[in-house]
Copies of this chain bind each other. A is one copy, B any other.
Amino acid sequence: MVRNSRWDFRFLATETMLRLTKKADYGLMALKYLAEQALATGKTGAASAQSAKDIAEAYHIPPQLLAKILQTLARQGLLVSHAGTHGGYALARPATEINAFEVIRAIDGPLFITSCITIHGTCDLAGHCTIKEPLRKVNDSIKDLLAGIVIADLAETPDHEPSVTLAGGLVSIAL
């Protein structure tokens, strides 16, 4: 009865039904790392570049995989890259101006909360699915939620409380 899938979720406390890919996870971790390094070294921009290899080792992430992720982030303009001996990646903008939504979208691409909404905004089940609109609102709310979180919030800066109430992080949903 409980064993209806590969998971045994009898012992769960927290749970949701929405999934973030590992790549997005890694990407956020990398950005967090870069933000911390920039702050620690006092340097800013390309001066505080860290190589993909270094970041991968710091978090025990498959290096090749992280390399790809960083490449796409650079391609999307969230990071600046620099090849060469002391090259690497650095945040393209201040850590307070890059939010989680951008990062995730850059990596995973835009996915819709409901499979009902396609590229063209039309519904697979043309007209039959009346659930679309309410879910779109949820969709937007989640987006706002994530857009309200910036990299700086993730970074544990030395002189910075670990938990800070985030201004602008209030999201209302109206159906």
Give chain A's interface residues, CB within 8 Å of chain B. 1, 4-5, 7-9, 11-22, 24-25, 28-29, 32, 58-61, 72, 75, 100-101, 104-105, 108-117, 119-121, 125, 128-131, 134-136, 138-143, 145-146, 148-149, 153-154, 156, 163-166, 169-175
Complex contacts, A153 vs chain B, CB 8 Å: 134, 175
Cα A167 to Cα B54 in complex, Å, equals: 48
Complex contacts, A130 vs chain B, CB 8 Å: 29, 32, 154, 156
Complex contacts, A101 vs chain B, CB 8 Å: 17
Nearest-Cβ distance from residue A45 to partner chain B, whole angstroms: 23
Complex contacts, A11 vs chain B, CB 8 Å: 119-120
Beta-carbon contact of A17 and B164 below 8 Å: no
Cα A88 to Cα B156 in complex, Å, equals: 54
Beta-carbon contact of A113 and B59 below 8 Å: no
Beta-carbon contact of B17 and A108 below 8 Å: yes
Complex contacts, A13 vs chain B, CB 8 Å: 121
Complex contacts, A18 vs chain B, CB 8 Å: 18-20, 111, 113, 142
Beta-carbon contact of B139 and A25 below 8 Å: no
Q: CB within 8 A of A19: which of B1, B22, B112?
A: B112
23 A-B contact pairs sorted by A residue (CB < 8 Å): A1-B75, A14-B136, A15-B105, A15-B110, A15-B143, A16-B110, A16-B111, A17-B24, A17-B105, A18-B20, A18-B111, A18-B142, A19-B19, A19-B112, A20-B114, A28-B135, A60-B125, A138-B149, A141-B145, A163-B175, A169-B175, A170-B171, A171-B172
